[in-house]
A and B are shown apart, each in its own frame.
Chain A
Amino acid sequence: MSMDFASGKELYELCREKGLSISEVMLGREMELGSVSEQSVRERLARSLQIMEASVHEPLGQPRRSLSGLIGGEAWKVYNAGLADPVSEPNVSGSGAKPWTDEAWRSGRVAGGRGIASLCGEALTRAIAYSMAVLEVNAAMGLIVAAPTAGSSGVLPGAVLSLSEIHGWSEAKQMNGLLNAGAIGYLLMRNATVAGAEAGCQAEVGAASAMTASAIVELMDGTPEMCFQAASLAISNLLGMVCDPIAGLVEVPCQSRNAIGVANAFTCAQLALSGITHPVPFDEMVDAMYRVGRSLPWELRESARGGNAGTPTGCKLAAGGCAASCAGGCAAGSGAGQPADIR
C-alpha cells in the first residue's frame, strides 16, 4: 500500500493501520515518491538541522543588524536575560558579546538569571530566543531553512533545538521532529496555503506553529491522534492573524510573531499531551484557515498597507528610517516615486 496521503484523515489511517508514527509515514512517503533511500533523506535532513543549529546560536554570540536596521540583537537580549552574569550589551557588530555556551545558560538557570528566565521557564525562554535568532539571521541575509517560509522560519528550529538540548535528544530524533512537522506542513500547503500574500500570517507563523505543535507531541512520545489535536488547536489559536510587515520587510512584526508561534506550539502540545481535544478535526481546521485567509482584505495580506505597517509610525518607518530599502507601501508613505537607477 502506498505511503502517500492527501489529508489528515488519510495520514491518520496510515498511522493506525501500520502502527507507525507520523514521522515514519512521512519518511516512507518521501522515499516512495522521490525514489530515494532512507539514507539520502536523512543526509538532507542532517543538512537542514546543521543550518538550523547555526541560525539559532549565531546571533546569541554575534548579533547582527538587518538590512534596514529595524531589527538586530533581540535574541541576544532574551538569551542574556537568563544568564547569571549578564554582560553589557554588545554592539551589533558583535564585539563585547559573550559567546554562546550551554554552561553559561545553565549557570543562569541555577542562579535564576535576573529572574526573567523563570517567567517562561528555561525551555520556552530558550525556544523564544532561538526562534527570534533565526529571524535575525534571515533579516541580515544569513543562511536559514524556510519552515515553511522564511518569515516563519524560527518556530520549528526554536522548539526542536531548545527541547533537544534540554532533553538530550539524538540527531535521529530531531529528524523525526522535522519529518512530523513536514507532514503537517505538506497538508497545509496542499489543502490550504502557506503564503502570507494569500492568507495572512496565520498561513505562515500559524502553519509553522501547527507543524511544531505536532512535532513536539511526537517527540514527547504522544500519539498521532494527539499530534493532530495539537495542530488543530494551534491553527485555531492563531486563526485570523494578519500579515502586516512594516515597510514590506520580513522583520517587524515577523520576528516577535515567531516567538508567539513557538509559545503557541508549546501550549498546544501541552494541552494535547494532557488529553485535551479540539472538537473540529484537523482537515476542517485547515480548510477554515484557508477560508479565513481568503476573506482577509488585501491590505492585511503582505501588502504592507494595513495593521502594523499601516499605522502612522509604520508608514513613517517605511518612508524614513529605511527609505533606501523600501518604496513605502503606505498611502502616507512617500517612498514610491520615479523609477530610480542605482549603481
Chain B
Amino acid sequence: MNYISVFDVIGPNMIGPSSSHTAGAVNIALLAYQLFSKPIAKADFTLYESFAQTGRGHGTDKALLGGIQGFGTDDVRIRDSYALADAAGIEYHFTWDDRTKTAHPNTVDIRLESPDGQVQTIRGESVGGGKIRIVQINDIDVVFTGIYSTLIVKHADRPGVVAHVTNVLSRHGVNIAFMRLYRDYKGGTGYLIVESDENIPDYFLEEIRENELVHELMLIQI
C-alpha cells in the first residue's frame, strides 16, 4: 500500500461530491465504527473549519452518519443515512463549529456511545483524495491512517507491555511495519499502535489480553 496504485489515480470509487468532504468523512467515521466494534446507541459529531463551513453542501453529515453504520465510500446507502440511522435506532447529533481553529481544516470529532454506556471519542482529519488520519483517541494524541492493518493496544503506562505485545506478534510471524507509543501522562493510560502490511489474525488477541496491563484491544484489518 506504500505506492501510488492505478486505483489511487482512477479512484476511489465514491459517492460524491467531494473526495475530501464526502469520501474522507466516510473513511474517518468508518474507522471510528471499526475501532468501537460495539453496537452504537448514540453518535455525536463536531465538524470544524472547512468541514463546518461547506460540509452541508458536500453531504459531509450524511457521509459521517453512513460511516458509523459501516458503509464504505462507494455505498449508495450513504444518501439515506439519516433514515437508516433512524430505523436502526441510532441517536445522532451534529455540531457545526466554524469558529474553533484546528490543526487541519477538515477535522471532525466523533463520540460514539454503546447501549450500555461505553464511550469512545476520536478526532479525524481528511487530508485529500479521500485519504485520512486519526489524530486522537479518547483525547490522547495519536497518528494512524488505516492504510495498514492496525492493532491498537490501550494499556497502563507501566513496564513490559511493549515486550509482551511484540513477543506475541513475533511468535505468530507478523512483520511490524510501524510502531508508536502514546500516553496521557507518566503512569497513566497508554496507546500502543502497531501497523503491519499483512493481515493481523484476530485469534491471538486473546494472548495479548492475557497481560493484566492491557485494558483494551482494537484491530483494523485492511
Contact = CB atoms under 8 A, between A and B. Distances in A.
Interface of A: 4, 26, 30, 33-34, 41, 44-45, 47-48, 51, 66-68, 137-151, 153, 156, 178-179, 181-183, 185-186, 189-190, 194-195, 197, 211, 247-251, 304, 322, 324-327, 329, 335-343
A138 B17 contact: yes
Nearest to B7: A44
A128 to B, nearest CB: 19
B99 to A, nearest CB: 6
B96 A341 contact: yes
Contact of A189 (B4, B74, B95, B96): B4
B9 interface: yes
B18 interface: yes
Given A33-B5, A185-B10, A189-B4, A197 B128 contact: yes
B53 A336 contact: yes
Contacts of A153: 16
Given A137-B16, A304-B54, 14 more contacts: A4-B3, A44-B7, A48-B7, A139-B16, A142-B76, A144-B13, A146-B19, A146-B23, A151-B18, A247-B54, A250-B16, A326-B57, A341-B96, A343-B92
Contacts, number: 166
Report, as a range, how many residues of chain B touch the other chain.
35 or more
B6 A141 contact: no
A141 B76 CA distance: 8
19 contacts: A138-B17, A141-B17, A143-B13, A143-B76, A144-B13, A144-B15, A147-B9, A149-B129, A150-B16, A185-B10, A189-B9, A247-B54, A248-B54, A249-B17, A329-B54, A336-B98, A338-B99, A339-B52, A342-B61
A150 B18 contact: yes
Contacts of B23: 146, 150
B79 interface: yes
Contact of B17 (A47, A48, A251): A251
A142 B79 CA distance: 8
